[in-house]
Amino acid sequence: MLSFLKNLLGNTPTSEEIKQQVKEESVLSVAPEKSPQDKPQGRTAVAGVVTSLSLHPSWENNLSSQERYALSFMAQEMEPLAEDTYSLAGTSLVPHEAGVEVTAFIRNGSDRPLKLGEMTLVILFGDQQLFTRQKFDLAEIGEIPPRSARPWSFVFEREHFLQVDVLLTSWKLAFEIAQKKMVLPQQLELEESWIRSLSDEQKNALIELAKRLPSIKEGEVNIQSMQLRRDESGALNVMLLIRNGSTQSLSFEKLPLVLYDATGDKAAEGLFELGSLTVNANTSKPWLFIFPPESIQKQEADFSRWKVSVPQG
């Protein structure tokens, strides 16, 4: 539970060591901005709130005086918290028999006690990639006094992991609600038939092309146009990247598509039988769609720019 304290015990940690230990915080507002008459009288404006240690009764009897001192020092030396906000500041992530265990400070930057309910927490790693999400009943943490920081441990179970075999050297614990506008980079996934038929150079080119595309928002699913060429029969061969930013795998049996040219005119349209094409959660998968000559509606289309979309309605 308190493995992260081992680095701090024995020596008085510096403020810089505290900053290195504590991960980037996930911050939410406690309530709408208070009016001037609601603010405490006689308080000088400060850059932020310095929090003091608050321990849950279940922690009180399990800490040595040295551990209590280290936690108290950390709570006060963390970056000041904006007034009327609360935050989640991860300090340690270690393996657990059920998955991984994360220790964090829940910080209350308001002048009122804070009591939380059921919330979904996420672990992010690398370039803001989603590793796992899980729902916790934060009421178990108890009431956090004003301007206080309370340590707590969260066990994320292995069954909720969205990715495996990843290096969690750079990570962040966050409230899911704080990540709604976050964009997620996509991992490229190739079908077995593509892996066998493409050269290493072609595979690397696909990977690099996918990396250059704009990221998509969490929960979003879209289709990105990649390559277009006309073959000897007159058919249009279109490579698309199906991008799944949701937490669920998606399967496609049929997919209607419309191809538009640079002028915005409909150049071709078709309904594609895909069998059971599956795009796993948080991945992107390229696929080749062939518009046969009979599906082409504009023979002299301008493909200097083009896009493919799913028809609405």
Mean pLDDT by runs of 10 across the 313 residues of the chain is 48 49 68 40 55 93 87 89 90 91 93 90 84 91 94 92 78 73 58 81 79 74 88 93 84 91 94 87 88 94 91 73
Q: Tokens 């901005």 belong to which residue? A: 33
Which pLDDT score, from 0 to 100, does residue 186 have?
Answer: 57
Do 68 and 150 reside in the same domain of the chain? yes
Which pLDDT score, from 0 to 100, does residue 185 have?
Answer: 43
Do 222 and 154 reside in the same domain of the chain? no
Domain boundary among 180, 212, 242: 180
Domain with 96, as residue range(s), is 3-180
Domain boundary among 180, 197, 223: 180
The C-alpha atoms of residue 255 and residue 267 are separated, in whole angstroms, by 17
Do 175 and 36 reside in the same domain of the chain? yes
Which pLDDT score, from 0 to 100, does residue 46 have?
Answer: 43
Do 138 and 281 reside in the same domain of the chain? no
| Cα–Cα separations (whole angstroms), residue 229 to 51, 233, 238, 247, 305 | 61, 11, 7, 33, 12
Do 174 and 280 reside in the same domain of the chain? no
Q: And the tokens for 74?
A: 């950390």
The C-alpha atoms of residue 183 and residue 245 are separated, in whole angstroms, by 9
Beta-carbon contacts of residue 93 (< 8 Å; ≥ 6 apart): 100, 101, 102, 123, 168, 171, 173
Do 48 and 116 reside in the same domain of the chain? yes
Listed in order, strand segments (DSSP E) in 158-282 are 171-175, 183-184, 187-188, 216-217, 221-230, 236-244, 250-260, 266-279
Do 116 and 215 reside in the same domain of the chain? no
Do 234 and 161 reside in the same domain of the chain? no
The SS3 assignment for 294 reads: helix
Which residue type does 69 have? Y
Helices (H) and strands (E) in the chain, counts: 5, 17
Do 9 and 78 reside in the same domain of the chain? yes
Alpha helices in the chain (DSSP H): 15-21, 57-60, 65-77, 192-197, 200-212
Which pLDDT score, from 0 to 100, does residue 184 have?
Answer: 45
Which pLDDT score, from 0 to 100, does residue 41 have?
Answer: 37
Do 129 and 156 reside in the same domain of the chain? yes
The number of folded domains in the chain is 2
The torsion of the CA quartet 278, 280, 286, 289, rounded to 10 degrees, works out to 20
Q: Tokens 């729902």 belong to which residue? A: 135
Do 141 and 263 reside in the same domain of the chain? no
The SS3 assignment for 200 reads: helix
In the DSSP assignment, the letter for residue 310 is P
Q: And the tokens for 191?
A: 């079908």
Q: Cα–chain-centroid distance for residue 220?
A: 12
Domain boundary among 155, 180, 205: 180
Do 135 and 226 reside in the same domain of the chain? no
pTM, two decimals, is 0.52
